[in-house]
Amino acid sequence: MIQRVLRQSPARAESSSGRAESAVPVRLENVSHEYGTGGGRFGSGPDRTVTALRDVTISCARGEIVGLEGPSGSGKSTILHAIAGLLVPTDGSVEVLGTNLATRSSRERTRLRRRHVGIVFQRFHLLPSLSARANVALPLVQLGVARSKRRSRATALLEQVGLADRVTHLPRELSGGERQRVAIARSLAADPDVIVADEPTGELDTATGTDVLELLTDVGHDRAVVIASHDDDTLAAADRVVTLRDGVVVSDGG
Ligand code: ADP
Ligand code: MG
């Protein structure tokens, strides 16, 4: 029901590559990552590095929901950031729709992310001064979609996530669950092939979290969805659970 409207994307119409449509949406191969190499992030002093990922190989197919599980610090967010092209791992390849992000410039990664990857954060990350509709429309501004189209698509998305009567509300006028619905609507604005969600129910009570999860499952049915969580209900909703410990995949498919 939801998917029909959500898949009619102005952005999609502009992207023409048949290759991207058929490629595996997400594939990480032998990915290792160290934070702080070069010493810049930690300033002066001894060269401290943190190994966040070690030789991680995972993939997510279209229509699949992969849960990333593991204790705090096990590398879940680092994987999601790599998929979103927000960081380039120290080693290995991160393919999104057949493009290895590690070989692309920061500008190209940004372009790929805007078109193909929707991101949902634990703390929503809505702009407080913008209405729900303007928040949802924001990714379309970056894609150069005309204002009237942005508005109509954002309104349709908000209707689809059950917020038809909250279109002009500001984030502070919404409940936590409603804010996360807005954030999910925003993540869908460009009709992405890939959605990454980092502890999307972490700030919500159980019942609200379940609703948000149902929504993510629903909108994910013909996309690739990777959800990091240590919430059992979230992981139960995944088609496959990848377990991480200290940056290492200790099981895949449990
Ligand atoms: P998770 O999401 O599973 O809690 P993260 O991917 O955030 O794990 O972190 C993995 C490891 O990398 C942890 O040891 C964490 O402290 C470290 N780390 C994460 N982000 C940074 C950063 N920006 N700079 C330095 N170390 C980081
Ligand atoms: Mg995290």
What pLDDT, on a 0 to 100 scale, did the predictor assign at position 161? 94
CA of 121 from ligand 2 middle (Å) equals: 10
CA-nearest residue, atom 6 of ligand 1: 75
pLDDT at 220: 87
Residue 144 CA, ligand 2 centroid: distance in Å: 31
Q: What pLDDT is stored for residue 130 in this prediction?
A: 98
pLDDT tens digit sequence for 25-39: 999 999 999 998 554
pLDDT in the model for residue 23 = 85
- pLDDT averaged over 10-residue windows placed end to end, the chain, 254 residues: 48 43 89 79 66 97 96 97 96 96 95 95 95 97 96 97 97 96 96 96 92 91 93 89 97 84
Atom of ligand 1 nearest to the CA of 198: 2
The predicted-structure confidence for 175-200, as pLDDT tens digits, reads as follows 999 999 999 999 999 999 999 999 99
Q: What amino acid is encoded at 2 in this protein?
A: I
**Ligand nearest to the CA of residue 202, numbered in listed order:** 2
From 41, 47, 78, the mutation candidate for ligand 1 (largest count of ligand atoms within 8 A of CB) is 78
Lining ligand 1 with CB less than 6 A are: 35-36, 41, 50, 52, 70, 72-78
If you measure from the C-alpha of residue 73 to the centroid of ligand 1, how many angstroms do you get, rounded to a whole number? 5
The pLDDT value given to residue 31? 98
The residue whose CA has the least distance to atom 26 of ligand 1 is: 35
The pLDDT value given to residue 166: 98
* Rg, Å, the chain Cα set: 18
Identify whether the C-beta of residue 234 lies closer than 8 Å to the C-beta of residue 112. Answer: no
- Find, among 149, 182, 180, the residue nearest to 165 by Cα: 182
Mutate to test the pocket of ligand 1, among 35, 42, 229, 246 (most ligand atoms within 8 A of CB): 35
- Give the pLDDT score at 228: 96
Determine the length of the chain.
254
pLDDT on residue 32: 98
Measured CA to CA, the distance from residue 109 to residue 123 in angstroms comes to: 24
pLDDT at position 45 is: 57
As assigned by CATH, the class of the 25-41+48-252 domain is: alpha beta
Which H or E element spans position 66?
strand 65-69
Rounded to the nearest 5°, which phi and psi values hold at 64? -105, 140
Residue 18 CA to residue 111 CA, distance in Å, equals 17
Q: Which two tokens stand for residue 117?
A: 């990857």
Residue 184: how many other CB atoms lie within 10 Å: 25
Are 14 and 190 in contact by the 8 Å Cβ rule? The answer is no
* Domain spans in the chain, listed from the N-terminal domain onward: 25-41+48-252
Q: What are residue 78's phi and psi, to 5 degrees?
A: -60, -40
Give the pair of three-digit tokens for residue 19.
């290759």
Three-state SS at 40: helix
Residue 52 Cα, ligand 1 centroid: separation in angstroms? 6
CB 41 within 8 A of CB 35: yes
Find how far residue 197's CA is from the centre of its chain: 4
Distance (angstroms) between ligand 1 centre and the Cα of 77 equals 7
Looking at the CA of residue 41, tell me the nearest atom of ligand 1. Answer: 24
CA of 23 to the centre of ligand 1 (A): 29
